[in-house]
Amino acid sequence: MKKTWVRLLKNKPAFISLIVICIAMVLSIIGPSIAPDKTPDADDQVLQLANMNPGFSTKMLLVQKNREEKKSSFLSKIFIGKENPNEMIPIVSYSFDTSANIVIQAYQGIGRAPLQRSIPLVDVCEALSITNQNFVIKGNQLSYTNYNEQAHVTTIDAMKKEIEQNRIITKSYLLGTDNYGRDILSRLLFGVRVSLSVGLVAVLISLTIGIFMGSVAGYFRGKTDDIIMWLINVIWSIPTILLAMAIRFAIGDKIPSFLAIFIAVGLSMWVEVARIVRGQVLAEREMEYVQAARGLGFNHARIIFKHILPNIIGPIMVIAASNFAAAILIEAGLSFVGIGIKPPTPSWGTMLNDHRAYLLTPDKAFLALAPGICIMIMVLTFNLLGNGLRDAFDVKGKTV
């Protein structure tokens, strides 16, 4: 086995693919903590900034929402994200008037004139009481009641300083924004998690069913083999994506969409595993070590799972890598046609479907190209890794 891994690491395409997959796995775990949009599902919408080009940046006024700020644990911030306690308003310019207000020229989109708005300073900086949003100004002093019904007194100058230092920021969108003004880079990072999790669970389901069915068919042969092979051939005659769609429709909304996709994709891919395992078990069952195990009185389950399967792990790993790539494509396809992961959870297939109309628009094609390129890269890396595993386990004529 050690020599096999040495051969794999010497295969440059497979080695590079392995590195890319490892990076994708890390991003899928810590994505919310490094994404520009750290809200759950990267769903912070700024409708005025819809379909902005890559590299776009603008000034933002952060207005405190009048609700209690949700506390998030450290792990929750890393793996899930945190609700944005502020409403983000894109602005062109701002000034302060004499009535404790900030006057902004709110950005309304390309080709539209800015909209002038006047917002009380205290409304920008604090979450005000739901029942009493009035505030009292006496000279430079400002009295108000916060969300927790606690009375506070501050100065107008202090609030102006707070706004200029912490409430007016410059926000950049490295890959632009989508139809709802959401950060595309952040949603792509969240989409990695969807693709890898669906691929992983689907492969585990397909391996579990495929290894069991294939090993039983190959080991016992006879009528058992005939029945299982008939079932495999019937299922294999149905295109995988159509089978996954049928299973997804059959499940409906009885269970969460994430779990439904896991099951639909996993149940549509086990036949390839079963055929590979069956062929390998048919060859291995005639080997001397299997005959010796039978002679020692070992039961069938022990012979299959403790003796035969460890010796055919190579082909199983190859088909697992291939199925991982297929699972990513199937999930993207289901999401593309609208029966995959439900919004607002970002999926590369959903993003591609939302922006497919822009493919023929030169300055907006990136909206569809970005998720398409991500799908292409992940499928390519798993296919290259599968080819590398195949070459590494095929020792005929190779020396290390």
Residue 400's pLDDT band (cuts 50, 70, 90): very low
**Which of 374, 365, 277 lies closest to 320, judged by CA?**
277
pLDDT over 70, % of the chain: 98
Average pLDDT across the chain, whole number: 88
Residue 285's pLDDT band (cuts 50, 70, 90): confident
Residue 206: what pLDDT?
93
pLDDT in tens, 145-169: 887 778 888 888 999 999 999 999 9
Q: In terms of residues, how long is the chain?
A: 400
pLDDT in tens, 253-266: 778 888 888 899 98
Residue 320: what pLDDT?
93
C-alpha distances in Å from residue 86, one per residue of 61, 63, 209, 276: 9, 5, 48, 55
Max intra-chain CA distance, the chain? 99
For the entire predicted model, the pTM comes to 0.85
CB proximity list for 318: less than 8 A, separation 6 or greater = 386, 389, 390, 393
C-alpha distances in Å from residue 340, one per residue of 26, 80, 186, 244: 24, 20, 20, 10
Show the CA angle centred on residue 321, arms to residues 262 and 79, nearest 5°. Answer: 50
Residue 395: what pLDDT?
43
Q: Answer yes or no: is pLDDT of 6 > 90.
A: no
Show the CA angle centred on residue 304, arms to residues 303 and 305, nearest 5°. Answer: 100
DSSP β-bridge partners for residue 104? 94, 117
Sign of CA dihedral 125, 126, 127, 129: negative
Residue 1: what pLDDT?
62
pLDDT in tens, 323-344: 999 999 999 999 998 888 888 8
Q: Reduce the DSSP state of residue 120 to 3 states and report it.
A: strand
**Residue 372 is which amino acid?**
G
CB proximity list for 78: less than 8 A, separation 6 or greater = 29, 30, 32, 33
Residue 132: what pLDDT?
67
Residue 152: what pLDDT?
83
Average pLDDT over residues 10-29: 92
Q: Answer yes or no: is pLDDT of 7 > 60.
A: yes
> Is-contact 69 127, C-beta < 8 A?
yes
Q: Which domains does the chain have, with CATH numbers?
A: 2-26+184-393 (1.10.3720.10), 54-173 (no CATH)
Torsions phi, psi of 118, nearest 5? -120, 120
C-alpha distances in Å from residue 159, one per residue of 64, 122, 125, 137, 167: 13, 7, 7, 13, 10
DSSP β-bridge partners for residue 115? 106
- Measure CA 93 to chain center: 37
Residue 82's pLDDT band (cuts 50, 70, 90): confident
